[in-house]
Chains A and B, each alone.
Chain A
Amino acid sequence: MSVIHLSMADLGLAALLVLLLAALSFVLRLQLQRQILISAARTTIQLLLIGLVLKSLFASSSPFWIALMALVMLAVAGREVMQRQKRPFRGAWGYGLGTLSMFVSSFATTVFALQAVIGTEPWYLPQYSIPLLGMMLGNTMNGVALALDRLTSSAWQQRAVIETRLTLGQDWSEAIADISRDSLRTGMLPIINAMAAAGIVSLPGMMTGQILSGTPPLEAVKYQILIMFMIAAGTGFASVIATWLGARRLFDARQRLRLSRLAGGE
């Protein structure tokens, strides 16, 4: 079985659905029609652009361009993590915290999978490395953003409890232990749930894509399992790193709670 090519007219038909949705939003006065149309346009343009980029990237296979691409993806994911937090850290920490934890975790996991599991030649083969890294970053980003948002907003709300624990002679890590644990659970639960529901409730996107393009279902399933494991580990490790660094950053060298280091802090 080979891929059935989609023509521009085919995509135009699909776009009618979006136009219909926009019209519905107008009728129901949801005031979302503008956003719907702009977002649909962005999807089209961004995906076409990335298609062109990937096409030339696969053609050249130069490590430099692959590394640059990976770094751009990381930078955008880092920005997304910061923007999803109600009270990110001020200054370079706000951006650096999530980005660093995603970098360590996603890149390590992806390189491990490429080298030890799949064994591509060369190991950075862009047809494998870029999509894998993309899926890793996309999911890790969710985990890190959820964990950090929970950490900072809980610390904000439970300031008095943390300070009480400090006055009783607890170490910073002990005083914020409950909150850290909660944040980690928040960051990790979505991927744990996704693993539990995979195949029953939802057919994962990558597997579906591979099947559509003619890969035998069992091969597609094996890849999907690999990806799920990578995402789970990557998200978990990144959440641990981000939560630990974030919790540490909430306290100064004298182990005082410093909420002024968060945006919106006094």
Chain B
Amino acid sequence: MSRGYYSNPLLSLRLCVEILLALRVEILSCLPALRYPVPMAILKVIKLAVLNIPPVSFTLQAGECVGLSGPSGEGKSLLLRALADLIPHEGRVMLDGEDCNHVHPAQWRRRVGLLLPESHWWSDRVGDHFPVREMDRVHALGFDERVFDWQVSRCSSGEKQRLALLRLLANLPEVLLLDEPTASLDPRSTRRVEALVEDYRREHAAPVLWVSHDPAQLARVADRQLRLEHKILREAAA
């Protein structure tokens, strides 16, 4: 009798490698942390001052959703724009212990993703605004792959707002700053957006700062709430 298959050390080594290769997709999918090497993002804001808003300090913990409310014109949007380093500001903003001023500006804005209240588009076709196409999220907001061939000018404002969120998430930001992300959406789409942000936040342990005028919405999505009133930022009772 010839010697068995398993007794040849070279052949059995090859077998092991082949089994591993065949199972690589399953093995990798068990290790989401390996597929997405996202660090635990913590956004620390120290004495941040913009224009006429006195310095504010707060911290967004990894995976935490913080609601931000307050009357119009108090500077909620200014605050978010300063966090994304879109406007000049004083004080420090740190992501994972890294100071904003020490990170390349485009890189910073990629990592600290700001969704502006109104969406703007520079190309005619929706698809031209997406560097990568993540179909799961597209489906989650009620679109299908044909959406990328749509003309931007023919989209409704609600469609554009949802697409703007998808466009932002395609960058895989570590922090989400959402400025009234559901302002022009019907209740059904609003819930879809809330669920999508929730999933994203859990999957990537991303802190979320969510500006809204709807107390019920903030109660649904936020772990805790901040309120900007009379130019003072304070923790609000949930």
User: A-side interface residues toward B, CB under 8 Å?
Assistant: 160-161, 163-171, 178, 252, 254-257
Q: Kindly identify which residue among B85, B106, B118 contacts A160, using a CB–CB cutoff of 8 Å.
A: B118
Shortest beta-carbon contacts, A-B, top 7: A169-B110, A255-B105, A164-B120, A167-B114, A161-B120, A160-B120, A254-B105
Q: Which residue of B lies closest to A170 (CB)?
A: B106
Q: Do B119 and A164 touch (CB < 8 A)?
A: yes
When chains A and B are docked, how far (Å) is the Cα of A222 from the Cα of B84?
A: 58
Query: Does B2 sit within 8 A of A, measured CB to CB?
Result: no
When chains A and B are docked, how far (Å) is the Cα of A87 from the Cα of B178?
A: 33
Residues from chain B with a CB closer than 8 A to the CB of A178 are 122
Q: Kindly identify which residue among B86, B115, B116, B168 contacts A256, using a CB–CB cutoff of 8 Å.
A: B86
Q: Do A167 and B122 touch (CB < 8 A)?
A: no
Q: Which residue of B lies closest to A255 (CB)?
A: B105
Query: Does B21 sit within 8 A of A, measured CB to CB?
Result: no
Q: Kindly identify which residue among A163, A164, A168, A255 contacts B171, using a CB–CB cutoff of 8 Å.
A: A168
Query: Does B87 sit within 8 A of A, measured CB to CB?
Result: yes
* Interface size band for B: 20 to 34
Most buried by A among B87, B115, B118, B119: B87
Most buried by A among B84, B114, B120: B120
Q: Do A169 and B86 touch (CB < 8 A)?
A: no
Residues from chain B with a CB closer than 8 A to the CB of A255 are 105-106
When chains A and B are docked, how far (Å) is the Cα of A252 from the Cα of B114?
A: 19
Q: Kindly identify which residue among A160, A161, A166 contacts B109, using a CB–CB cutoff of 8 Å.
A: A166
When chains A and B are docked, how far (Å) is the Cα of A124 from the Cα of B86?
A: 50
Q: 7 other contacts beyond A164-B120, A164-B122, A167-B109, with CB at 8 A cut-off?
A: A161-B122, A164-B119, A166-B86, A168-B167, A170-B106, A255-B105, A256-B87
* Interface 1/0 per residue, B95-106 and A, CB below 8 Å: 000000100011
Query: Does B73 sit within 8 A of A, measured CB to CB?
Result: no
* Interface 1/0 per residue, B200-232 and A, CB below 8 Å: 000000000000000000000000000000000
When chains A and B are docked, how far (Å) is the Cα of A172 from the Cα of B25?
A: 39
Q: List 13 A-B contacts (CB under 8 A).
A: A164-B120, A164-B121, A166-B86, A167-B84, A167-B114, A169-B107, A169-B109, A170-B106, A252-B88, A254-B85, A254-B101, A255-B105, A257-B86
Q: Which residue of A lies closest to B115 (CB)?
A: A167
Query: Does B181 sit within 8 A of A, measured CB to CB?
Result: no
A175 shortest CB reach to chain B, Å: 9
When chains A and B are docked, how far (Å) is the Cα of A165 from the Cα of B109?
A: 10
Q: Which residue of A lies closest to B129 (CB)?
A: A168
Q: Do A164 and B116 touch (CB < 8 A)?
A: yes
Residues from chain A with a CB closer than 8 A to the CB of B107 are 169
Q: Which residue of B lies closest to A167 (CB)?
A: B114
A12 shortest CB reach to chain B, Å: 59
Residues from chain B with a CB closer than 8 A to the CB of A163 are 86, 116, 120
Query: Does B63 sit within 8 A of A, measured CB to CB?
Result: no
Residues from chain A with a CB closer than 8 A to the CB of B67 are none
Residues from chain B with a CB closer than 8 A to the CB of A165 are 122
B216 shortest CB reach to chain A, Å: 27
* Interface 1/0 per residue, B61-98 and A, CB below 8 Å: 00000000000000000000000111110000000000
B23 shortest CB reach to chain A, Å: 36
When chains A and B are docked, how far (Å) is the Cα of A134 from the Cα of B109?
A: 47
When chains A and B are docked, how far (Å) is the Cα of A252 from the Cα of B87?
A: 10
When chains A and B are docked, how far (Å) is the Cα of A255 from the Cα of B87?
A: 9
Residues from chain A with a CB closer than 8 A to the CB of B110 are 168-169
Q: Do A167 and B119 touch (CB < 8 A)?
A: no
Q: Do A256 and B167 touch (CB < 8 A)?
A: no
Q: Known contacts A163-B86, A256-B86; decide if A168 and B120 are in contact (CB<8 Å).
A: no
Q: Do A168 and B105 touch (CB < 8 A)?
A: no
When chains A and B are docked, how far (Å) is the Cα of A252 from the Cα of B110?
A: 18
Q: Do A256 and B88 touch (CB < 8 A)?
A: yes
